[in-house]
Amino acid sequence: MAFTFFSTFMIMKKKMLLLLLFCFSISFYGQNLPKGFVYLSNIDASIKSEMRYFSHNNFIGKPIDGYKKATIIISKPTAIALKNVQQKLAQFNLSLKIFDGYRPQQAVDHFVRWAKMLNDTLMKKKYYPSVSKNQLFKLGYIASKSGHTRGSTVDLTIIDITTGRELDMGSMYDFFGNKSHVLHKNVTTKQKANRLLLRNLMMSNGFKPYKFEWWHFTLKNEPFSKTYFNFPIK
């Protein structure tokens, strides 16, 4: 009888321990991601990031819906491709810096709602000084769907590891204007070289660029080319 009680106690103890370990793993790693998605830091922890949409430093001026934590989630093939780029940059004391990866549909919906609120121009001077807010849809800066929501598009730049400073690309990330176009003529020779460095590295590792945003790249063979996800980043 005592032996049976002891055995039952030990089984219950093991189950409680497993449950605690499971709960710890969920809180530590964030959440159970859909199959095919990973946390970028689990593939390459050396890649830097600055989650603008988790902060007030973005074109809206407040944290964006769906961004519950400052972490990069991306499709696994995209993460592996980014790791390959990072390994090449590391040879020259450089690093990738990611601004955005997977973006929930609820975040895109937030952008759309904001764009329709024409009186909300808190960040106009910094992010879209020469563009009227009522033109954001027409000019393609805001849309109801985004490639980011499919999980294989990234916004990124290059930084100097020693100083932590971003290479000069001629415009800031998410700047709405012609000078963000990849081949914009009114940039210095150095700025053009920095843009081409990023562009060439990304293209040689399976990404396709977006000509209107020097920071925007999509994996050519993206695994979820027709699926728009809406799970939060946490």
Catalytic residue among 50, 166, 213, 222: 213
- Cβ neighbours for 79, distance < 8 A, ≥ 6 positions apart: 38, 40, 43, 44
E-state strands within the chain: 37-39, 48-49, 73-75, 94-100, 153-160, 207-210, 213-219
∠ CA 2-19-8 to the nearest 5 degrees?
Answer: 10
DSSP string for 157-211: EEEETTT-PBP--SS-TT--SGGGSTT-SSS-HHHHHHHHHHHHHHHTTTEEEET
Sheet holding 207-210, edge to edge: 48-49, 94-100, 153-160, 213-219, 207-210
Whether 213 is a known active-site residue: answer yes
Q: Residue 129 has what DSSP assignment?
A: T
Question: Annotated catalytic sites, by residue?
Answer: 213
